[in-house]
Amino acid sequence: MAPQIATHATRPGTARSTPPAFNPPALIITVLAISIFIGLGASWYGERVALPRYCARPEAALTRLRALITDPRPAGDAPHQPYLIAAKLLFLVPRHGNEPLEDYLARVRGRLEAQCR
């Protein structure tokens, strides 16, 4: 007769632990905390890092921003990088629904002036 091999070795006197039960509230709280952290981090980055980059030449950025909004091909055959940099302003200072262009550009100008002091 061949010896039997134990398939589940346990020490005498110990019980098997069961895996923790699924806890939806903990998962929801964790996802909510991560979302809030990402939102606050993005806001901090926009205010402290991204907007100050426009302080060197704010009028050039505003001119390119106007061209981005009004022209179908604002860069034409010129390099696109300056327009891509100006396009970031659309995300940092979003335009409100039906806000007129001049009001929006004035609001962006005021935001840049406040940031660059």
Alpha-carbon dihedral of residues 85, 91, 96, 97, nearest 10 degrees? 100
CB burial of 62-81 (b: ≥16 within 10 Å; e: otherwise) equals bebbbbbeeeeebeeeeeee
pLDDT for the residue 107: 95
Residue 110 has pLDDT above 60, yes or no: yes
Tens-digit pLDDT profile for residues 48-92: 888 888 888 999 999 999 998 898 888 788 888 888 888 899 889
- Tokens describing residue 63: 């001119």
- Cα–Cα dist 105/111, whole Å: 10
pLDDT for the residue 80: 86
**Mean pLDDT score, 17-34:** 88
Q: Is there a contact between 50 and 93 (Cβ–Cβ < 8 Å)?
A: no
Residue 21 has pLDDT above 90, yes or no: no
pLDDT for the residue 27: 92
- Cα–Cα dist 99/4, whole Å: 81
What is the CB neighbour count within 10 angstroms for residue 95? 17
Q: In the chain, where are the structural domains located?
A: 25-115
> pTM for the full model?
0.65
pLDDT for the residue 15: 61
